Amino acid sequence: MPQSLQPWFLVIQRLGIALLTLVIVSFAVFFATEMLPGDVAEILLGQAATPEAVAGLREAMGLNEPALSRFIGWLIGLARGDLGTSYVNNIEVVELISGRLVNSLKLAGVTTVVSVPIALSLGIGAAMWRGSVFDRIVSMLTISVISVPEFMVATLAVLIFAVWLGWLPALSYGVDVSSLSAILKAYAMPVITLSCVISAQMIRMTRAAVIETINTPYVEMALLKGASRKRMVLVHALPNALGPIANAVALSLSYLVGGAIIVETIFNYPGVAKLMVDAVSTRDLPLIQSCAMIFCVSYLSLITLADVIALLSNPRLRR
């Protein structure tokens, strides 16, 4: 294979692996929901349902068919964009998810815009002045935040900003968003919580990636030739640390997939994660499976994008 085509071959290979992983994950999601305790038809009809009514509903919903054939049909529907119909609401799952997905994307977008610049600046700054008071303060704060679970961060945010200070509403749903200040207040609590959680890990990983690049011989040679520490980091080390930093950002942002479930539940934010929690309580299998696949696709997309950036930013592959 020509050397110039090698990076693109590796990119196609990574995309193929991501697609195969998605198929395996869809298999796990489908059969994990199938193994949930209880009978869906009995839960939907209630305890007073007769056996004949339960049998009729199972037949109407296709639950009497073999699980493998139902999985293949569901997978084909996913490929076509057909997510099925909600058991509880008798509404297309796409219609139920579309509005909630927009809300979740807004929350993730605002969190990304707020957290990524701050985390990268602090991580690069801590690496640039390694061993300084600034580095020690940043390291102490990040370790403290990493050690605290996200539900505790959310609870502390509610106690401080909503209960004690009274600056922000404790819940995001139902808040008046007719003005810019009201919109900022509605998003402030979830964004603060998610930003604290993902920024801490991003800062640590960015700092480690930059320090590892600083310790390479060519960067040390630039320092010996008289380059300032700022030029050494920003000009010589940072471009070569782009791949690890991209992985750090992607891994941290992928936490939004799991962290959003807790944050949306605590703050009653009307997103996909909150919709999935409600669907679990009602055993709405098509809705649960669709929400889980959205989370899986989001996670795999971020990880694959970071992998592709790392490949294309590798000088050895570019040559």
Check residue 62 and give its pLDDT.
67
Q: What's the pTM value of the predicted model, to 2 decimals?
A: 0.72
pLDDT digits (tens, 9 = 90+) for 180-231: 666 677 777 888 888 887 888 888 888 888 888 777 777 667 666 766 667 7
CA 196 to chain centre: 14
State the number of CA atoms in the 13 A half-sphere of 151 facing the CB. 5
| Angle at 124 (CA atoms; ends 119, 129), nearest 5 degrees | 125
CB 300 within 8 A of CB 22: yes
Check residue 177 and give its pLDDT.
52
Q: In the chain, what are the domains?
A: 3-36+83-318 (1.10.3720.10)
DSSP for 145-187, please give it.
HHHS-HHHHHHHHIIIIIIIS--S-S-STT---SSHHHHHHHH
Check residue 317 and give its pLDDT.
53
